[in-house]
């Protein structure tokens, strides 16, 4: 009897340790499987880079879920705000590289394709730049700005948005402080300086609404002007701040083809698809009107209805089918935010709204749109 009891005890001990070993093996295998999980950049590796705009929380490393998502899904990064003039060059003789250094280090750590955004833009300027009125002085301001920033990150940042949003909607040049002081040739100057500082860097002109015919003509004019003078430009960045209804697929396709035929590749630089109404969609509405707190303008404060979720998924699928059709013309596709809660569209053009424009929800989980996009590569 004693021998039987000892045998049974020994038997149960062996079974117990075998079960523990199986559980540990399952955990190890789960971790291995998770590390090998295919992300967007893996799925589209033979087509174009898949990028994302990163904010300060990601750069500082305090958004751990976002960091995991970034490493798994994307192979290109763009800084959302931290390299804009008011942050990186706030004083005439003073630069602040603290956060941009972290950004570049993060990209190098993850072996990402790193984009610098943006060198010359009329918005988010430091106050002192707006006060420059002499053309010779402004030329030197641009020279100092571009030489210093690009020189610091030479061969570490692979692509630069050299000039951002220089066009009006009719395709003419926006009346910025650079146009007022230097004239149209400020674009020539910016791209020439950039190519001189880092000849190997990819140089981009970036703008929104570049699917509209008049503005498209304006962007093509910029490209042709630069090329006619032997000045390097590699890419037109089409900001993809689009909606469920527009622009049409035909407009997007025609724009991609036209830019490519002008001698540059296309980057979809700031992709997000709003599911909310905008002031300019309302008859008689003025963009300057204050719609904050208007329930009609914020119809989904808690969650997105399934029907709208499916519209968003279908829209993304159609757009990516088009991108794949023209894969040889496209350099990269960059989403403007890591997940819905980090999107700028929660605060623009109306503050305090709840938007759902990206592939990942506020819990960092993939949405139906993500699965539709990934399904194109299966």
Could you confirm whether 165 is annotated as catalytic? Answer: yes
What local confidence, expressed as pLDDT, does residue 282 receive? 60
Among 24-33, 209-218, 322-331, 332-341, where is mean pLDDT lowest? 24-33
Q: What are the residues whose beta carbons fall under 8 Å from the beta carbon of 104, sequence distance 6 or more?
A: 114, 153, 156, 157
What's the CA angle centered on 307, arms 302 and 313, to 5 degrees? 95
pTM for the structure as a whole:
0.89
Cβ atoms of 210 and 166 closer than 8 Å: no
Is 294 a member of any domain? Answer: no
Q: Which residue carries 């791209």 as its tokens?
A: 191
User: Is the pLDDT assigned to residue 20 strictly greater than 60?
Assistant: no
Our measurement of the distance from residue 283's CA atom to the centroid of its chain's CA atoms, rounded to an integer in Å, reads 31
Of the listed 73, 165, 309, 372, which one is catalytic?
165
Question: For position 208, which CATH number holds?
Answer: 3.20.20.80
**281-303 mean pLDDT:** 75
Contact 216, 233 (CB under 8 A): no
Q: Which of 91, 175, 250, 270 is catalytic?
A: 270
Any domain includes 1: no
pLDDT band at 79 (very low <50, low <70, confident <90, very high): very high
Q: How many CB atoms lie within 10 A of CB 59?
A: 23
- Give the bridge partners for 202, in sequence order: 159
Confirm whether 280 is domain-assigned.
no
- Of the chain, the percentage scoring pLDDT greater than 70 comes to 88
Q: Mark whether 73 is an active-site residue.
A: no
**In the chain, count of helices (H) and strands (E)?**
14, 9
Position 296 pLDDT exceeds 60:
yes
Residue 35, pLDDT score: 43
Residue 135 placed within a domain: yes
Beta partners for residue 167, in sequence order: 173
Does residue 195 lie within any of the structural domains? yes
Please report whether residue 105 resides in a domain: yes
Looking at the predicted structure, is the pLDDT value of residue 294 above 90?
A: no
Q: Residue 283 pLDDT more than 90?
A: no
Domain presence at residue 370: no
How many separate domains does the chain show? 1
Nearest to residue 205, comparing CAs of 196, 213, 129, 218? Answer: 218
Angle at 220 between CA 218 and CA 222, to 5 degrees: 75
- Find the distance separating the first CA and the last CA of the chain, reported in whole Å: 62
Range of the domain at 76: 40-272+327-339
Mean pLDDT in the chain? 91
CB of 267 closer than 8 Å to CB of 238: yes
Tell me if 140 is assigned to some domain. Answer: yes
Instruction: Give residue for tokens 């083809």.
Output: 257
Structure confidence by residue, pLDDT tens digits, 85-113:
999 999 999 999 999 999 999 999 999 99
Is residue 188 within 8 Å of residue 231, measured between CB atoms?
Answer: yes
């Amino acid at each position: 009897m004693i021998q039987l009891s000892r045998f049974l005890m020994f038997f149960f001990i062996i079974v117990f340790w075998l079960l523990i070993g199986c559980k540990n093996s399952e955990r190890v295998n789960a971790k291995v499987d998770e590390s090998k999980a295919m992300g967007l950049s893996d799925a589209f590796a033979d087509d174009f880079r898949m990028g994302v705009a990163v904010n300060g929380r990601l750069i500082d490393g305090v958004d751990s879920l976002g960091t995991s998502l970034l490493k798994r899904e994307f192979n290109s990064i763009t800084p959302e705000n931290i390299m804009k003039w008011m942050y990186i060059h706030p004083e005439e003789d003073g630069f602040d590289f603290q956060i941009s250094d972290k950004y570049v280090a993060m990209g190098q750590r993850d072996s990402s394709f790193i984009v610098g955004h943006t060198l010359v833009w009329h918005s988010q300027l430091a106050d002192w730049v707006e006060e420059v009125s002499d053309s010779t002085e402004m030329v030197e301001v641009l020279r100092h700005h571009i030489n210093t920033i690009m020189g610091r990150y030479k061969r570490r940042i692979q692509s630069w948005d050299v000039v951002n949003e220089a066009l009006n909607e009719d395709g003419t040049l926006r009346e910025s402080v650079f146009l007022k002081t230097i004239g149209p040739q400020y674009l020539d100057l910016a791209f020439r300086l950039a190519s001189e500082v880092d000849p190997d860097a990819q140089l981009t002109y970036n703008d929104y609404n570049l699917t509209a015919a008049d503005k498209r003509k304006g962007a093509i004019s910029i490209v042709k002007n630069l090329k006619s003078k032997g000045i390097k430009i590699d890419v037109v960045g089409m900001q993809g701040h689009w909606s469920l209804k527009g622009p049409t697929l035909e407009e997007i396709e025609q724009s991609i083809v036209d830019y490519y035929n002008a001698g540059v590749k296309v980057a979809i630089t700031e992709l997000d698809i709003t599911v909310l109404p905008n002031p300019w969609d309302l008859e008689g509405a003025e963009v300057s009107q204050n719609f904050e707190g208007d329930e009609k303008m914020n119809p989904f404060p808690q969650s997105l209805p399934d029907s709208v979720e499916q519209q968003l998924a279908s829209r993304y699928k159609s757009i990516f089918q088009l991108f794949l059709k023209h894969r040889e013309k496209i350099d990269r596709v960059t989403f403007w935010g890591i997940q819905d809660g980090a999107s700028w569209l929660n605060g623009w053009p109306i503050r305090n709204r709840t938007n759902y424009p990206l592939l990942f929800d506020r819990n960092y989980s993939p949405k139906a749109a993500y699965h539709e996009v990934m399904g194109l590569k299966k």
